[in-house]
Amino acid sequence: MPLSEKARIEVYLPDLPRAAYQDLLKTLAQEFAYTFGGCTIIRGLDGSYLSRAGLQIQDRINLIYADTPYSFTENFEIISSYADRLKEAANAALEEEAILVAVVKVYHAE
């Protein structure tokens, strides 16, 4: 079976009980469903980061991701622009610097 190259878009959000965080997760789920046909959400992951003060902070994180129908290599500029817009929207919605938007190359069996 041949493999098909795709781009996976991942957004890592702090898992906080505030409405803005839950609303953004719902909005991203809708965006990914309508744009790519669906998404996966993994809730309550353990994470940590180094604060500006140099302290290690434990954090709970939600991961939402979707595989696009687009080849990572052939559509790099379009995917990059989309990821930038996601990052900007997430930062505006939460006024948070700890949002990670990642794009990785994955291969699907056809």
Listed by start position, the domains of the chain span 3-109
Residue among 15, 9, 10 at smallest CA distance from 61: 15
Which residue spans within the chain are E strands per DSSP? 3-14, 40-50, 56-67, 100-109
Q: Is the pLDDT of residue 95 over 80?
A: no
Please tell me the pTM assigned to this model.
0.89
> So what's the architecture of 3-109 in CATH?
2-Layer Sandwich (3.30)
Q: Is the pLDDT of residue 48 over 90?
A: no
Q: What is the pLDDT of residue 66?
A: 97
Q: Is the pLDDT of residue 83 over 80?
A: yes
Residue range 31-46: mean pLDDT, rounded = 96
